[in-house]
Structure 1
Amino acid sequence: MQLLKAVHHIAIICSDYEKSKQFYTEILGFHIDREVFREQRNSYKLDLSLQGQYCIELFSFPDPPARPSRPEACGLRHIAFAVDNIDEAIAYFNEKGVITEPVRIDEFTGRKFTFFSDPDDLPIELYEL
């Protein structure tokens, strides 16, 4: 029996809420579905969607601990987004000041991919369809 239907969302805790909000909305192009300040936690929660699909919860918490290492620490390694043309995507992000790694080729699929980082050094992958 298959119980799981799909990935519902990815939760990200950021160190600088305004900087990360700007990055995910203005640079990556996510749409803000809802933004709330949770006074009891002194924390923002930002619900973001991509092409109408709920995708990311962006949280701010006072003084979150740093990520132990990049990207091979135990736990979530990275998030990946599909693109139609990796060269166009790289050019767009580079124009926005986002530095991408050199393009690699997936040894199993032959597809192109690259990585860059969000404001908290969370690794993000672009994978060409």
Structure 2
Amino acid sequence: MPLLQFDTTRSLSAEERTGLAERVTALYAEEMETTTGHVAVTIRERDPSAMHLGREVEGPLLFLDAEIRRGRPFERKRAFALETMAYAGDALEIPDENMKVVFTEHEGEAMMGVDRVGGEWDGEA
């Protein structure tokens, strides 16, 4: 039951926000071997003075805080991060140097909705 939280200094249209949410939901499901129905996405636009990255270059910033269930192998997380940044770079014109992905892993039972509580990841969808 992941929560994918984006912060960006780029002003996004409704279509761009929807496109980002739909694309990362699909990428997450593919790379993490799960379904899309429980993937939550937030997109917050920030004033440029509210975000900083030491290596940044001219252009907007985009950070992803991916709150996920523990247990996914490094290779899956890395593939998801790279695909997400490739999409953001192309679709939203975010420079590579200005993107960052951070994973925070939780026990399955720490992730819940009204209708379910997450379990431990066993490598199956």
Q: Could you state the TM-score of these two structures normalised by the residue count of structure 2? A: 0.32
The higher-RCO structure (CA 8 Å, 6+ apart) is 2
Q: Which has the larger radius of gyration?
A: 1
Compare the two structures and name the one with the higher strand fraction.
1
Task: Report the TM-score when normalising by structure 1.
Answer: 0.32
Higher helix share: 2
